[in-house]
Amino acid sequence: DSGVTQTPKHLITATGQRVTLRCSPRSGDLSVYWYQQSLDQGLQFLIQYYNGEERAKGNILERFSAQQFPDLHSELNLSSLELGDSALYFCASSVSLERGVTDTQYFGPGTRLTVL
């Protein structure tokens, strides 16, 4: 158990809908990362938040957005869903050390999103 929790575990929805995925980081971790993993693919970095502020952005679609709240939990919002958005979405957290050092990331169990 990494200490990172994600809810829900599974989500099935229809095209055009909007969903929210939730992540609670490990106690004491200030950074949260979101990743997308399509079937049999590696992970695609989406976005990172540090202590409530966006720090880095990867290949995140405009239909997707995220935020980190004062209690450090984070939500990933996916809207106007398409079939191709079906994937595993992972959240990871890290302590986030000084600039220039890449932290070890601890991953949650993921949310499996199926868009029908």
Partner 1 sequence: DAKTTQPNSMESNEEEPVHLPCNHSTISGTDYIHWYRQLPSQGPEYVIHGLTSNVNNRMASLAIAEDRKSSTLILHRATLRDAAVYYCIRGSNYQLIWGAGTKLIIKP
Could you list the residues that contact partner 1 (CB under 8 A)?
2, 4, 31, 41-45, 48, 50, 55-56, 58, 90, 92, 96, 99-110
Half-sphere exposure of 106 (CA within 13 A, CB side): 19
**Where do the DSSP E strands lie in the chain?**
5-7, 10-13, 19-24, 31-37, 44-50, 53-57, 64-68, 74-78, 87-94, 106-107, 111-115
The nearer residue to partner 1, 14 or 104, going by C-beta atoms, is: 104
The nearer residue to partner 1, 81 or 89, going by C-beta atoms, is: 89
Q: Yes or no: say if 93 and 32 are a contact pair by the CB < 8 Å rule.
A: yes
- Least distance (Å) between residue 56 CB and partner 1: 5
- Least distance (Å) between residue 22 CB and partner 1: 15
- Least distance (Å) between residue 15 CB and partner 1: 26
The nearer residue to partner 1, 50 or 61, going by C-beta atoms, is: 50
How many of the other CB atoms lie within 10 Å of CB of 16? 10
The nearer residue to partner 1, 44 or 79, going by C-beta atoms, is: 44
- Least distance (Å) between residue 61 CB and partner 1: 17
